[in-house]
Structures are given as structure tokens and as C-alpha cells.
Amino acid sequence: MFSERIITWQRMHGRHDLPWQGTRDPYRIWLSEVMLQQTQVATVIPYYQRFVERFRDVDALATATIDAVLSAWAGLGYYSRARNLHRCAQVIATEHAGQFPRSAAELERLPGIGRSTAAAIAAFAFGERAAILDGNVKRVLARHFAVAGHPGASTVERALWAIAEQQLPDSDIGAYTQGLMDLGSSICTRSQPQCPGCPVRTTCIARRDGRTAELPSPRPSKARPQRAATLALIRDDCGAVLLERRAPAGIWGGLLSLPEFEAEVSDSDLARQIELRFALATSVIEPMEPVRHEFSHYSFVMHPRVVRATRTCAAAEAAGVEWLGPDRFEHAALPAPIRRLLELNVARETT
């Protein structure tokens, strides 16, 4: 059987030493599953370890401020995950007495937990016989059972879910679930799959028919939109940088970032807009090199300009605005590209 071969292979060749393995704690399993969405394991591990040191359980996460959560998440990307994580912890603490629901169906009702994530938590923490379908598993099933079409298309996804449900073993659900993930991560990779080491190679249709390169079908191509903006890196006489709190929803929601202006704004207009927006007398010093950052759906080209502001260093901060000195950059809730810009500017200022 397909599932039996996956289980046997996982026990012998799968991953067993990841920091979130060897536990039935639904909090740690949930945290790892959310972090692993669209993020590689090697990237997740240090973030996961720091996160559980800072927020040891669901109650600690629920009582933390959103700024503290975003700060711990900064650099991991897809920040809606962090906001949903915080909201979900609060729901578990207030509506479930701090205890995770034990079924995939109940878990799926919580903020930020989709069908596959709910199934993974239920399988690993509570042993429920529930099917997962993350990106790696979609690739394994699409190749093995020759399911054509882009897995993100609704009809293709429904077909893959049906297969995932059909292949569930009667027991050893944890080893099977982990095995599917491990197989997609290490053997049935997107390019150059290692078919000789695959435990289900003898029944894989894509391997038999020489279709591993075409399955699963790629996302239909379309022009990638581009957005550009001027970012004002405003520094005062004490070396602190002005940062704005972004709106809770949207890209970099809830994080601190540099104020944005039109991409083609002139130096004089930029100074005038900063004066109106922040009541600061400023002078534009020089532009920095443009920086391109790729989001999932568009490219963002940032044109930073260093701006010198005159203000009293001990002046109170306006609502939604913070002045941060370089000693606070490391632990602030900043998007990774913005943190790199600030660190680069500091390095330039000190050379």
C-alpha cells in the first residue's frame, strides 16, 4: 500500500530531530506548522526556537502585545501569519480555557488555521486520522497519481484532496503525515527529484511515463506588476530614525516602516510633505541605491532618500510615529528590507 511504504520509509529515512518533533504539545506543533507555511525548514528553525523561548505557551502568546509578536516574527515574512497567530492564541485562551480543540474540524474554525494545518495539528498532537495537503504533499500526489493541472486551481485541488483522503492509513497517522512532508521536501523535489530513493517509485505514474518535469503543472504565467515608492529615512541630530506604524492589514501590517511618498517626488516637495505630515523642518541629504523586494504578487522598488530633521531629541512622539536609535533596530518590529536599509545607513554614517 502507498501509505505503508511511506510510513516504513519515514521511520528509516525521514526527519526525526527537528525542534518541534518528539512532542504532542499542540502549541508547539501549531506554531511550527504556521511558520512552515511558504517558508523553508532551515529558515524557520531559529525563528521557532527564539519564539518559544519568548512565548513559552499559548497563554504567554495571548497576553503578549501584538508589537512584541511582530518583533519576534520580523524577517520571517507573510506577517498576516503572525497577526493570525496572536489572534488565535487569544481565542484559545478566552474561549477554550487555554486548551486547543482536539479535532481538525474544530481547529479549522480558529483564526489563521486552514484545512491542511488543522489536520497536521490534529494528527501530530491528537492522533486523528486526518489528511494534509500542503505544497510538498500536492507535488507528491500529483506526480504519483498523475493529476494534471496547477494544484492551486479549484478542480485540481479538489481531486488532490480526494486522493489525500483515500490514501490515509488506519494507524500510524503521525509517521505517515511526517513521511509525506519529508518525501516532498527531500526526494520528490520541484526540480531534479531523487526518484531512485523514493519509497513509492514503483507505482509512480509520473516516473513511469517520464512526466516528473511537467507534474504538477506550473502556475499560469502572467505579467508581474511592479510598484515603486520613495522611502524617507529621516534622521535627527541624535541619530534616531523616524518610523511609522503601518495599518494592521495589508503588506507589513502592524510593523514599523519608513514613511512612503510618491516615487518621482522632488527633493523640495519631499521636504515640504514631511514638514506637513510630521511638523519637521528637514533637508534632503542624498539618495541611497534603490532596493527591489519581491512579494508574492508584485515587485516593490524602494527609492530611499536620507533626510536630516531638526527636532528636540527628547520630544514626545506623535501617535503612530516612533523615533528609534540604532541600538533598538535589532529588536524592533521592522520588515527585513527596512532593517537592512537602516543598518546600511548606519554603516555609511560611521565610515
Domains of the chain and any CATH numbers: 2-131+167-186 (1.10.340.30), 226-349 (3.90.79.10)
At 283 the pLDDT is 87
At 190 the pLDDT is 94
At 148 the pLDDT is 95
Amino acid letter, residue 351: T
3-state secondary structure 195-225: HHHCCCHHHCHHHHCCCCCCCCCCCCCCCCC
For residue 321, the SS3 value is: strand
Please report, rounded to a whole number, the percentage of residues in the chain having pLDDT higher than 90. Answer: 81
Question: What would the grid cell of residue 274 be?
Answer: 514631511
Confidence of residue 219 (pLDDT cuts 50, 70, 90): confident
For residue 314, the SS3 value is: coil
| CB contact at 8 A, 248 and 83 | yes
Helix axes 173-186, 2-13, angle to 10 degrees: 70
pLDDT tens-digit readout, 121-136: 999 999 999 999 999 9
Confidence of residue 310 (pLDDT cuts 50, 70, 90): confident
By the 10 Å C-beta count (0-12 exposed, 13-18 middle, 19+ buried), 58 is classed as: buried
At 244 the pLDDT is 95
At 248 the pLDDT is 86
Active-site residue, 33 included? yes
pLDDT tens-digit readout, 133-172: 999 999 999 999 999 999 999 999 999 999 999 999 999 9
Confidence of residue 346 (pLDDT cuts 50, 70, 90): confident
Strands 226-235 and 299-310: parallel
| CB contact at 8 A, 255 and 70 | yes
In this prediction the pTM is 0.85
At 111 the pLDDT is 95
Distance in angstroms (rounded) separating the CA atoms of residues 143 and 206 = 5
| CB contact at 8 A, 171 and 7 | no
At 317 the pLDDT is 65
Q: Which of 132, 140, 102, 138 is nearest to 114 (CA)?
A: 132
What radius of gyration, in Å, describes the C-alpha atoms of the chain?
24
